[in-house]
Amino acid sequence: MRSRRAGTLRSASPHEEHPISAIVAAHGPFDPREGARMLDRLTHRGPDGEGEVALDHAWLGHRRLAIVDLEGGAQPLHDPDLGLWLVGDGEVYNHQRLRDELVERGRAFATRSDHETVLHLLALDGPGALARLWGMFALVAAGQDGAVVAARDLLGISPLYWVRDGETVIFASELKAFDPHRRADVEPFPPGHLWTPQGGLQQLQQLPAGRSARVAALLDDDEPGQEPPAAALAAIRDTLITAVARCMEADVPVGTLLSGGLDSSLVTAIAAHLAEGEGRRLATFSVGLADSADLAAARRLAEELGTDHHERIYTPDELIDWVPEVIGVIESFDPQLVHSSVPNLLVTRLASRHVKVVLIGEGADELFAGYSHYGRIDSDEELHAALLETIEGLHAGGLQRVDRISGAHGVEPRLPFLDVDLVELGLALPARWKLAHEDRGEKWLLRSAFEGWLPEDLLWRPKVQFGEGTGARGVLREHYGAAVTHEAFERERTAVDPPLRTPEEAAYYRIFQRHLTGLDPEGVVGRFVEP
């Protein structure tokens, strides 16, 4: 057994965290030199340190971005008494509650690390106990007895991919980590699942279905009407406020990415209020073309809330020039994702100069029916099914953008709308309350819950896609749509399945191929249907 710069359990700071990192792991025959190459390709996720361990049956590697406790967060994490090694990305939010239970059962802890809690949970109760984890995580653990387990959080907030090649199974945080000859076989590790060599792939967690006792108590009767009771609106409001408060717990500066849309504006309003209560001024960050609607809305709200506001005005040429780098970062060629990712990269770069943690409004559209195509649905059963499908696909869309861009710039993203309590509440509320019609626009339910929190015109401002509101969508469509001739598009469109849809997408796919040679995008790269 060989290890380099691995982390043995010891005392640590009260708030040890390692939410942004890169993991590489393998079970079965594996060349450690391949693991080292994979780690090198993920340096951007963890420039502050690396570690690896080679066991008889497994190899674990880790790169770390130090947010807190520069000395105590090294991985692979190891406890000789437990006989376990672990590499993990993300954060287990309920680790303290689990730790308290484990202490009562006689377990002794050497650190305050959330991943040490996972080690003890695995040692005591086995892989199935990982279903109790709540948060954003991707992890692989290996024991000296030959045991291996891999797991990923329910929503896929933390990334994980794998290759299954005979007796060898390889895991990594990003597609680009894999050697080119492996890439044709890469698959996303499914969210909410675990894998062991003995049991194979098994479902670990699933999205809540049906009405919980908590939600039933909010309803006046067994068949809720079209109008939500005041208690339901209060529950939405209180649950989001609690989620934002959780996300603001950090030992480093926290800010919000303020796009000017409803979701980021609500998160910002709550965070600004909480920061003010602690005698602090919230930092906010926005980007856009000089005349973009989102930039103007964000600027106005920042003035209203009195935040420490930072903005960057970019030019059309800058948007065009950043696309190749953005495609390499997000590992996607989908136009909708590219449109939103370019301004997202620029605002994250801006924020990284001032804060280490950013709150983001991702997830509200999926919980409260914010996309325009939901407005064409008039059945509550159909709407609920559509929302579930969209949430289950977040890991290959918006969450992929959030993770890759944040990880590339040393910023930890936190997503209050995807707090497990809010997801449970949002999915359990009757879908009929979310239906849009001529008297009620999209996300009426969420807007109603926060009456008085934003200026009326901002609270009820119609939704605009981030890439559109910042001005990026029109600029990029015009430029890259003209970059591929009609004849070339017809020749190249069938290079992937389903076929490329537009010359613009073909231009992005050319760039994607240069960054990820040998990758088969089918089933790996999310492709969105434009509303």
pLDDT at 2: 47
The answer to whether residues 161 and 523 touch, using CB atoms and an 8 Å cutoff, is no
pLDDT-based confidence at residue 320 (cuts at 50, 70, 90): very high
Lowest-confidence range among 103-117, 244-258, 482-496?
103-117
Question: Mean pLDDT over residues 84-91, rounded?
Answer: 92
For the residues of 214-231, what is the DSSP string, one character each?
HHHTTSSSSS--SSPPHH
Distances (CA, A) of 136 to 89, 151, 160, 191, 415: 8, 11, 11, 10, 10
Give me the mean pLDDT over the 212-235 stretch: 74
Question: Can you give the pLDDT at residue 496?
Answer: 92
Q: Are 348 and 409 in contact (CB under 8 A)?
A: yes
266-297: b or e for each residue (b if 16 or more CB lie within 10 Å)?
bbbbbbbebbeeeeeebbbbbbbbeebbbbeb
- Name the band, by pLDDT with cuts 50, 70 and 90, for residue 523: confident
Which domains, ranges and CATH numbers included, belong to the chain? 2-203 (3.60.20.10), 231-481 (3.40.50.620)
Please say if the pLDDT value at position 308 is more than 50.
yes
Residues 158-172 pLDDT 10s: 999 999 999 999 999
Higher pLDDT, 361 or 466: 361
pLDDT at 508 over 90: yes
Provide the residue count of the chain.
531
pTM here is 0.90
Give backbone dihedrals phi and psi of 388, rounded to 5 degrees, phi first.
Answer: -60, -45
Q: How far apart are CA 333 and CA 507, in angstroms?
A: 9
Q: Given pLDDT bands bounded at 50, 70 and 90, which one contains residue 343?
A: very high
Strands 148-152, 193-196: parallel, antiparallel or unpaired by DSSP?
antiparallel
Mean pLDDT of 352-380: 91
Exposed, middle or buried: residue 366 (CB in 10 Å: 0-12, 13-18, 19+)?
buried
Average pLDDT over the chain reads 89
How far from 42 is each of 58, 194, 412, 434, CA to CA, in Å?
A: 20, 23, 16, 41
Q: Which of 148, 176, 147 is nearest to 161 (CA)?
A: 176
- Kindly state the helix (H) or strand (E) to which residue 60 belongs, with its residue range: strand 58-64
Q: Structure tokens of 118?
A: 């996972």
